[in-house]
């Protein structure tokens, strides 16, 4: 005989309702997916729907306008730098910040004009495409972040004369991706920004136009070092490229050159403008060597000394 609990039918009804309530979202999503157009399930079609083709055409004109603005700004900066020579570094610094602002504004404008920002786009960008793009552009992203750090940390500025690795010259541009360096042989060197984060950079002037220059002269150990030092100081003080508000020093030290003992006289003086560095060195060297010759101050040479006869050996003693 089967005994039925009085509340069993009620429990079965409640259980059925709970199961239906829990499964209703899944059923609704399945029905929605079945009713959705087939194009939603096509990744290629979804990708094409991301683009605003009329916006891409407008983006071309945005990029062209940005390029024209930057070229026009560079021309103005060049003219102002020639007119206001003492403000040349400040003008170039302002130009670098202006370039950054134009670059960022252009990138945002092109993205907003060319793409439809929707839920599907966000899903796609956060998926495999975004990962692949991240790997492909990791060096570029590192250079972009390094460029921002350079602008705020300021290890050097536009117009500074720096030494980086084997390169030596003037910083002519600090961009989002790279730094352009004008070397003394008139070559333009492009260095990625992220390289500056792991290597040592030496800056000669750091925001000012004058810079210290060191020039070495070598004379023999038996020469008149006092006269030679006075000649170097006098020549440095009278060259037209000298920056007199800062001191002129001549440091004397003894060195060995090719197994020959010599005296090194190192001039430390400031050139009026970094662009006259080599003219400064040439002018001083020519005048100093001329005066050395007139005053018979000779370069280093191997000296041969005559040794006196040594005393007789002890066996000759009584």
The dihedral built from the CA positions of residue 218, 223, 228 and 229, taken in this order, carries a sign that is: positive
% of residues, the chain, pLDDT over 90:
34
Picking from 294, 293, 290, 300, the residue whose alpha carbon sits closest to that of residue 235 is 290
Predicted TM-score (pTM) of the model is 0.58
Q: Find all residues with CB under 8 Å of 249, minimum gap 6, and list them.
A: 267, 268, 269
Question: pLDDT digits over 142-157, tens only?
Answer: 777 887 888 788 888 8
> What integer is the mean pLDDT of 212-230?
95
Q: Residue 117 — very low, low, confident or very high, per pLDDT cuts 50/70/90?
A: low
Summarised one tens digit per residue, pLDDT across range 182-216 is 999 989 999 988 888 888 889 989 888 999 999 99
Q: CATH class for domain 211-294? A: alpha beta
- Quote the distance between the C-alpha of residue 95 and its chain's center: 16
Element (H, E) at 77: helix 53-83
- The CATH number corresponding to 155-203 among 2.70.170.10, 2.30.30.60, 3.40.640.10, 1.20.1250.20 equals 2.30.30.60
Where do the structural domains in the chain lie, given as residue ranges? 47-150, 155-203, 211-294
More confidently predicted of 203 and 129: 203
For residue 36, give the DSSP letter: S
Q: What pLDDT, on a 0 to 100 scale, did the predictor assign at position 107?
A: 84
By C-alpha distance, which of 260, 262, 159 is closest to 205? 159
Q: With bands split at pLDDT 50, 70 and 90, how would you rate the model's confidence at 120?
A: low
CATH code, residues 47-150? 1.10.287
Query: What mean pLDDT, rounded, does the chain reach?
Result: 78
């Amino acid at each position: 005989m089967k005994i039925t609990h009085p509340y069993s039918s009620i429990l079965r009804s409640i259980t059925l309702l709970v199961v239906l309530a829990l499964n209703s979202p899944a059923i609704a999503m399945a029905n929605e997916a079945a009713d959705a157009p087939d194009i939603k399930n096509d990744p290629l079609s979804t990708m094409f729907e991301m683009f605003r083709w009329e916006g891409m055409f407008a983006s071309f004109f945005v990029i062209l306008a940005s390029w024209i603005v930057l070229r026009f700004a560079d021309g103005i900066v060049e003219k102002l730098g020639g007119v206001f020579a003492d403000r040349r570094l400040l003008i170039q610094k302002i130009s670098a910040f202006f370039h950054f602002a134009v670059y960022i504004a252009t990138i945002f404008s092109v993205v907003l004009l060319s793409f439809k920002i929707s839920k599907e786009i966000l899903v796609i960008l956060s998926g495999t495409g975004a990962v692949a793009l991240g790997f492909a552009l990791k060096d570029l992203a590192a250079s972009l972040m390094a460029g921002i750090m350079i602008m705020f940390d300021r290890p050097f500025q536009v117009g500074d004369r720096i030494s980086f690795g084997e390169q030596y010259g003037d910083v002519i541009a600090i961009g989002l991706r790279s730094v352009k360096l004008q070397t003394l042989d008139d070559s333009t060197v492009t260095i990625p920004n992220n390289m500056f984060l792991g290597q040592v950079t030496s800056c000669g002037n750091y925001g000012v136009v004058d810079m210290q220059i060191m020039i070495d002269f070598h004379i023999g150990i038996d020469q008149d070092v006092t006269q030679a030092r006075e000649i170097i100081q006098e020549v440095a003080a009278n060259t037209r490229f000298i920056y007199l508000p800062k001191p002129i020093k001549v440091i004397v030290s003894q060195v060995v050159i090719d197994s020959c003992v010599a005296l090194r006289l190192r001039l430390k003086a400031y050139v009026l403008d970094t662009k006259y560095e080599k003219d400064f060195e040439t002018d001083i060297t020519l005048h100093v060597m001329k005066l050395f010759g007139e005053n018979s101050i000779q370069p280093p040479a191997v000296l041969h000394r005559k040794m006196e006869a040594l005393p007789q050996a002890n066996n000759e003693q009584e």
